[in-house]
Amino acid sequence: MSDKQGIDNLVNHYKELKNEIHKVIIGQDDVVDQVLISIFSRSHCLLVGVPGLAKTLLVNTISETLGLSFNRVQFTPDLMPSDIVGSEILDETKQFKFIKGPLFSNVILADEINRTPPKTQSALLEAMQERKVTAAGTTYTLPNPFFVLATQNPIEQEGTYPLPEAQLDRFMFNIWVDYPSYAEELAIVKTTTSDHKPTLNKVLDADQIIYYQDLIRRIPVADNVLEYAVNLVAKTRINNPLAPSITKNYITWGAGPRASQNLVIGAKCHAAIKGRYSPDIEDVKAVSKAILRHRLVRNYRAEAEGYSMDRIIDELL
């Protein structure tokens, strides 16, 4: 199969996926798009929003339609790293045996990831970057494909911990889940307060997902698109000659090279799901907010003057 045929098939499968997901999830079209883009980009995403906006339901629904193994980890203040990765026990023959934890699955729902201390959150670092975990000196390979889809309540709420910057950087997207519109909320209440139980069909399997992930990587990118992505990230760094006044006035720390990589791979995927065989600058812009908003650190002046992260990114664009 040629790459062009592969992209045409991806478009069809993508439409099927969204149809299945919207049997359960009403509205949130941009959120669904961004989660699926992160999956086809072989990456992870963080869904941020107040309780009750169907973040967990969305991840559950997507895992069902993808036909992958799925584990949910409920992050709590007393959760230990071994509760996620696994631990060694003495078996009947008095030999140490490693018992795999819930991390050994294709899709991991890290539910309310900011409810647990950084020590436990950091247990995901090696898994998210290397697709491997090390326990008692032995390295174990995780299943392929492997995604961490995490949900988080806003930091300002009681009983939450800020995520370590190193872990935040491993999430491709920080997706803001907003309140539904009046019409959407009406439809949500109507379906969830009746005996309506939609049946979800599996659209893709693991081998197809891996094929599409490899296909996305093979999509060519023009030099001007690459340069735009790298320049955009460079503009977020206050000591860079390209930095505009908004960066120097309102940003403490800029984004690292992983942001540039994610902008390019995200643009490739955004173009592919639209049926185009190469991304342009508009594709980079389309994924930029979700990629940059958790990689920049605002200063006190930005907070005092009401400059949100999205407003700063808008001006950088």
pLDDT of residue 155: 62
15 and 143 share one domain: yes
Contact 107, 66 (CB under 8 A): yes
Give which of 173, 155, 156 is closest to 164, Cα–Cα: 155
Q: Tell me, yes or no, whether 200 lies in a domain.
A: no
60 and 173 share one domain: yes
158 and 277 share one domain: no
* C-alpha to C-alpha distance for 306 and 317, rounded to whole angstroms: 19
247 and 293 share one domain: yes
161 and 226 share one domain: no
pTM score: 0.89
C-alpha 68: how far from chain center: 17
- If one counts the domains in the chain, the total is 2
pLDDT of residue 158: 65
Instruction: Tell me the three-class secondary structure of 152-201, residue by residue.
Output: ECCCCCCCCCCCCHHHHCCCCEEEECCCCCHHHHHHHHHHHCCCCCCCCC
Give which of 96, 191, 171 is closest to 129, Cα–Cα: 171
Q: Tell me, yes or no, whether 203 lies in a domain.
A: no
23 and 166 share one domain: yes
Q: Tell me, yes or no, whether 18 lies in a domain.
A: yes
pLDDT of residue 226: 94
167 and 245 share one domain: no
Q: Tell me, yes or no, whether 229 lies in a domain.
A: yes
22 and 143 share one domain: yes
187 and 226 share one domain: no
pLDDT of residue 157: 64
Q: Tell me, yes or no, whether 40 lies in a domain.
A: yes
CATH code, domain with 245: 1.10.8.80
Per-residue pLDDT for the chain (317 aa), expressed as one digit of tens each? 678 888 888 899 999 999 889 888 888 888 899 999 999 999 999 998 877 788 888 888 888 888 888 888 888 888 888 888 888 787 777 777 888 888 888 999 988 888 888 888 877 888 888 888 887 778 888 888 999 988 887 766 666 777 878 788 889 999 988 888 888 888 888 888 888 788 888 888 888 999 999 999 999 999 999 999 999 999 888 888 888 888 888 888 888 899 999 999 999 999 999 989 899 999 999 999 999 988 888 888 888 888 888 888 888 88
176 and 223 share one domain: no
Q: Tell me, yes or no, whether 79 lies in a domain.
A: yes
Q: Tell me, yes or no, whether 116 lies in a domain.
A: yes
226 and 118 share one domain: no
pLDDT of residue 156: 60
CATH code, domain with 132: 3.40.50.300
Q: Tell me, yes or no, whether 23 lies in a domain.
A: yes
Query: Domain containing 312: what range?
Result: 219-316
Contact 119, 81 (CB under 8 A): yes
36 and 151 share one domain: yes
pLDDT of residue 290: 92
pLDDT of residue 264: 95
Q: CA angle 106-112-116, nearest 5°?
A: 100
* C-alpha to C-alpha distance for 310 and 314, rounded to whole angstroms: 6
